[in-house]
Chains A and B, each alone.
Chain A
């Protein structure tokens, strides 16, 4: 895993100084065993299908990524120029591990993979995303998803 000590000084200092949100409670829920869970990916990498609407500054909604999307159809319109994209360019699974998730489903490690996955663009203030996220929660329930893999970028 990437550790703070592995990062350039400016990035380490920046991340270390980010405010950490606090919550009034620490809700905890149980779910079915992992082998029965249906899992969706939610990315903040600004991923979209080629031809879909690109993310722009302040975009707070999400793009839908079908579970059967072709790897070559995936592009990234995250507005930031401050992170290294070469990993994504070489292997989509670095930021969107759909192939790996499908393999775990085939092996029976997880129950199934959702029909749809979702991408936000992480440079937007998360508070602006809240209404969209509440809508998304309903979509996930409709797809019988009971766990999400949050992949921040």
Chain B
């Protein structure tokens, strides 16, 4: 339960006290439920993305790459607020700034880079990290405002309303056709989640 230190402490203490049980193996339920976060759209009624992505794009800003850059810019003030409120960000596995990450990812749609920008990592490795960073940026930004929002609500928002999700969907077949092992893995199961693809029998990843 994020932000509930008292609840976390009770869970942790109950867990560690199992070390003092005299005989085992042991497995026990923890009876106290965390305060329920909304899960469905109905339960999270009232939540809305703070950014309206429906803004018309001007003549210079057409195409997927430009649309993604616009979206990143629209979310940046909310991500700044997230960092201010939480005192941290989990963005940063790729080493890219977000606009740079966006450019790197969309380049795979029509003009893939000739070589990896990071020593020791393949182009596919860096693509995976850039995608993960962008997604973390989006989710941190959109949850910057106080208020509960559930997993299903966030998933629906991300996968149905964002340009980044459309980029991911467009990348999937490109990854599947790639010679790069990491990119093929992304195309199979580490770019678009099972609850979007419906591929429930995919490996446990």
A144 at the interface (CB under 8 A from B): no
> CB-CB < 8 A to B111: which residues of A?
none
Find residues 5-27 in chain A having any chain B CB closer than 8 Å to their own CB. 8, 10, 13-14, 18, 26
Partner of A100, one of B12, B92, B140: B12
Q: How far is it, in angstroms, between the C-alpha of A10 and the C-alpha of B155 when the chains are bound?
A: 15
Q: How far is it, in angstroms, between the C-alpha of A48 and the C-alpha of B3 when the chains are bound?
A: 21
Produce 1/0 per residue, A113-153, CB < 8 A to B. Answer: 00000000001000000000000000000000001010000
Nearest-neighbor residue (CB-CB) of A9 within chain B: B200
Q: List 6 A-B contacts (CB under 8 A).
A: A31-B19, A74-B88, A75-B92, A81-B193, A90-B143, A101-B12
> CB-CB < 8 A to B136: which residues of A?
76, 85, 89
Find residues 28-57 in chain A having any chain B CB closer than 8 Å to their own CB. 28, 30-31, 33-34, 37, 39, 48, 50, 54, 56-57
Find residues 137-185 in chain B having any chain A CB closer than 8 Å to their own CB. 139-140, 143, 151, 154, 181-182, 185
B52 at the interface (CB under 8 A from A): no
B63 at the interface (CB under 8 A from A): no
| Distance to closest chain B CB from A63 (angstroms) | 12
Partner of B140, one of A37, A79, A89: A89
B8 at the interface (CB under 8 A from A): yes
**Chain A contact patch, size range:** 35 or more
| Distance to closest chain A CB from B60 (angstroms) | 33
- Known contacts A80-B205, A100-B8; is A57 also within 8 Å of B90 by CB? no
**Additional A-B contacts beyond A37-B16, A37-B19, A147-B16 (5; CB < 8 A):** A14-B200, A18-B204, A34-B16, A54-B121, A81-B193
Q: How far is it, in angstroms, between the C-alpha of A147 and the C-alpha of B12 when the chains are bound?
A: 13
> CB-CB < 8 A to A37: which residues of B?
16, 19
Interfacial residues, chain B to chain A (CB-CB below 8 A) = 1-3, 5, 8-9, 11-13, 15-17, 19-20, 22-25, 29-33, 86-93, 121, 125, 128-129, 132, 135-136, 139-140, 143, 151, 154, 181-182, 185, 189-195, 200, 204-205
Q: How far is it, in angstroms, between the C-alpha of A88 and the C-alpha of B17 when the chains are bound?
A: 25
Nearest-neighbor residue (CB-CB) of A29 within chain B: B24
> CB-CB < 8 A to A76: which residues of B?
90, 93, 136
Q: How far is it, in angstroms, between the C-alpha of A6 and the C-alpha of B143 when the chains are bound?
A: 22
- Known contacts A18-B204, A82-B194; is A77 also within 8 Å of B13 by CB? no
A75 to B93, Cβ gap below 8 A? Answer: yes
Interfacial residues, chain A to chain B (CB-CB below 8 A) = 1, 8, 10, 13-14, 18, 26, 28, 30-31, 33-34, 37, 39, 48, 50, 54, 56-57, 71-72, 74-77, 79-82, 84-94, 97, 99-101, 103-104, 109-110, 123, 147, 149
Q: Which 9 A-B pairs have the closest CB atoms?
A: A91-B2, A90-B2, A72-B88, A123-B205, A1-B30, A81-B193, A84-B151, A77-B93, A87-B2
> CB-CB < 8 A to A149: which residues of B?
12, 15-16
| Distance to closest chain A CB from B145 (angstroms) | 12
Nearest-neighbor residue (CB-CB) of B132 within chain A: A77
Q: How far is it, in angstroms, between the C-alpha of A131 and the C-alpha of B32 when the chains are bound?
A: 37
- Known contacts A26-B24, A89-B139; is A79 also within 8 Å of B19 by CB? no
Q: How far is it, in angstroms, between the C-alpha of A103 and the C-alpha of B10 when the chains are bound?
A: 12
- Known contacts A80-B190, A82-B195, A100-B5; is A54 also within 8 Å of B19 by CB? no
